[in-house]
Amino acid sequence: MATGCISLTLRPLPKVEVPLPLFTSTRTKIPTSTLPSISTISRFRPNGFVVCSISSDRSTLGNQIQDKSNPLPQVQSCTWNWRGYSIRYQCSGSDGPALVLVHGFGANSDHWRKNIPVLAKSHRVYAIDLIGYGYSDKPNPHDVGDSFYTFETWASQLNDFCRYVIKDEAFFICNSIGGVVGLQAAVTEPQICKGILLLNISLRMLHITKQPWFGRPFIASFQNLLRNTAVGKLFFKSVATPESVRSILCQCYHDTSQVTDELVQIILDPGLQPGAVDVFLEFICYSGGPLPEELLPQVKCPVLIGWGDKDPWEIIELGRAYGNFDTVEDFVVLPNVGHCPQDEAPHLVNPLVESFVARHAKSPATSSTTI
């Protein structure tokens, strides 16, 4: 979501195999991948199809490096017309199972920039901007009604994306509130989702059922104040600055060196677009809808949960309870990682995605089902 072209470069490191303490029932050894190169992030053009070029100048992938003999696939930025609204998505890769990467609150598909080209070496990878976020349209909540910005709407968007754009079943790889979107989509149309990997799924602690009874009237009054008066816009204006965004990200990233100027720009820029403030206020006032603990028992596909153990917002001690559902095959602790593991620790997340999909994808001899 950068406002201009950003060149990215990678410096070579030897390929090594490091035992990572991903605490499941057994200790898992994951080889660290050598990351070849990454596509330049181009400014999004809403009326077209942007093909990002391979760059070799600066790196945002830290200690991962370019292997010129095996370059990463290019990433394309595209638009899709969904119910009359323009939806931005990114895609890369031409073979293998389809993956849809679903961002969290206030983020967008660029939050998966460290994952898309790597996973695209052996998968068809798509990352979507949920309506209201990123560079997708942001219809005014007062015009479309209170029931528009809900998990049911986003789930419909996700399922329709698989049906009309991918035209195939897909694995959902989700972070934060994107996890609730993925679960709702899988429950609504179980024939579409092959499996879900949840990264620090939102616990939804502001849900009406999780608020103390005596506090509910005050919370409702405060939400009404934010949504329907100038107070909300003043609050948004105070947080929609580079300094505030950086401060918030440094709270939820354990390794604050990953909070770069590029990341701040990726999160902030769409928030400065017309309509973004109203969507922001609408969601923080959204106290209804489904909870993960209600959706997990209804899911028919395999579920894997990964959790950064240093997340200050979604506490791992509470998240562990989700690992007890029969549909959840494992709860993987991601050590020394915060709320956004895919961006803070792609060296842990990318192999986790690859191994999960490999376990549940159809064999090459079996053709994919068209939905």
pLDDT tens profile 345-360: 999 999 999 999 999 9
Q: What is the pLDDT of residues 174-231, one digit of tens each?
A: 999 999 999 999 999 999 999 999 999 999 877 878 877 777 787 778 777 777 778 8
- Bridging pattern class, strands 193-199 and 170-175: parallel
End-to-end Cα separation, the chain, in angstroms = 31
Distance, C-alpha 250 to centroid of its chain? 18
Of residues 332 and 10, the one with the higher pLDDT is: 332
Average pLDDT over every residue of 130-147 = 92
pLDDT value of position 67? 58
Contact status, residue 13 vs residue 34, Cβ threshold 8 Å: yes
The tally of CA atoms less than 13 A away on the side-chain side of residue 31 is 7
Q: How confident is the model at residue 37 (pLDDT cuts 50, 70, 90)?
A: very low
Both tokens assigned to 219: 């919370």
CA neighbor of 255 nearest in space, from 337, 331, 175: 337
Residues 107, 145: Cα–Cα separation, whole Å: 23
Q: What is the pLDDT of residue 205?
A: 72
Q: CA angle, corner 198, sides to 189 and 335, nearest 5?
A: 170
Contact between 39 and 49 (Cβ < 8 Å): no
- Please give the full DSSP string across 304-344, using - where no structure is assigned: EEEEETT-SSS-HHHHGGGGGSTTEEEEEEETT--S-HHHH
Residue with tokens 């603990």: 293
pLDDT of residue 221: 81
Contact 256, 143 (CB under 8 A): no
User: Which pLDDT does position 69 carry in this prediction?
Assistant: 64
For 74-97, what is each residue's pLDDT tens digit? 999 999 999 999 999 999 999 999
Tell me which of 72-76, 143-147, 331-335 is least confident: 143-147
The two three-digit tokens of residue 30, written as one number: 């994951």
CA–CA distance, 75 with 79 (Å, rounded to integer):
13
* 103 close to 50: Cβ distance less than 8 angstroms: no
pLDDT at position 317 is 94
* pLDDT tens-digit series, residues 244-298: 999 999 999 999 999 999 999 999 999 999 999 999 888 787 777 899 999 999 9
pLDDT at 43: 34
- On the 0-12 / 13-18 / 19+ scale of CB atoms within 10 A, 18 is exposed
Closest CA to 226 of 277, 274, 269: 277
For the ranges 5-9, 161-165, 362-366, which has the lowest average pLDDT? 5-9
Length of the chain: 371
Q: What are the tokens at 50?
A: 């942007």
Across residues 10-17, what is the average pLDDT?
A: 34
Confidence of residue 15 (pLDDT cuts 50, 70, 90): very low
70 pLDDT band (50/70/90 cuts)?
confident
Helix, strand, or coil here: 76? strand
Least confident stretch, 81-85, 138-142, 340-344: 138-142
For the chain, domains (ranges, CATH) are 76-205+290-361 (3.40.50.1820)
Q: What angle do CA 234, 238, 241 make, to 5 degrees?
A: 135
| pLDDT tens per residue across span 39-69 | 333 333 333 333 332 332 334 444 444 456 6
Flag whether pLDDT at 319 surpasses 90: yes
pLDDT band of residue 172 (cuts 50, 70, 90) is: very high
